[in-house]
Amino acid sequence: MAASFTGVFVLLSVLLTGLNASRPAINQELSDIFNELWRLDVNRLTPGEDYTVSVQGRANFVNQGSHVVQDHASLPLFSNVSESKLNNITTFSRLTKLLDNYERSTGVAERVTAEERTEINLFLDAVLETEVMKRAHRYLVSKGQSSSNLRTFRSQLHLIWFQLYHRQRNTGLDSSGFEHVFVGETKSQTEIVGFHNWVQFYLQEKNNHLDYKGYKARDHDLPDQDDHVLNLQFSWHGLVKPVGSAFIGTSPEFEMALFTIVFLMNTEKSTTVLVNIDQCQMELVVIRHGRSLGTAYPKLLSSNSRHVRQHSYQG
């Protein structure tokens, strides 16, 4: 009887080990540095104080390219956003100046004016002055991925985020990492690509160019008003994004620092890392476009420490 019990126990242990092995491992080193950046992000807006979100209903499945979508959110996602902070915090105010500098459609060459180049430079200057980006820089230097020279690091950021490239073949230079992630683009007049920034989401919603349709989440992990990342469905200029995702309330320097670190710490064309940041477990996805950023976004897996509680229940 004892031998039989031991055999069952060993079999269960092997099965559980196999299940755990199939799950992607938390990248603890990146989680540690990202939580440090989170604590340093003094420009981050506070939910319920600086802004309010209303997640409302769960969105339905929608095929990519579909223009027909049921609306499960009668209200906007954002309300009561502190525009005084968006206007007076330097990195936010300089970010907003960049958002109207780009052609929305891929395949249409970008024309960068002298004024727009100045706006990019002023934005980078502001980002580099923050403690968030200073700490990210020190981390990358310690890993041999960046020069300690600030001007060289600044050029590296410009190449990753602002260097124009061909996203669509046989066209002019029509895209950049910044445009794709922070501004959003449309492709072939049928789908939204990129668009992973909450400030752009709020401003486009405010100007009636964007309609929030509802949240996307697993049944057991419903989003809360104070979640730092949301998975969303929305329409923009008549096109539908079946599933999008974005950090909520975070500063532009925080988002740039995270994705720059993931970009430089990996060489694969597509990289996904699993991290815990504050109370959220998420995947950070980064796809390269040569030496520049193709896309980058967070994908919320669990919020408000539910992944920690679930783990403790499972022993």
Distance CA 29, CA 1 (A): 46
Taking a C-beta distance cutoff of 8 angstroms, is the pair 161, 197 a contact? no
Phi and psi, residue 47, nearest 5°: -65, 140
Distance CA 261, CA 205 (A): 30
Q: Which residues are catalytic?
A: 180, 196, 241
DSSP character at residue 51 = B
Residue 166 Cα distances to 108, 144, 163, 174, 177, angstroms: 10, 29, 10, 6, 11
Torsion angle, CA of 138/37/128/185, rounded to 10 degrees? 120
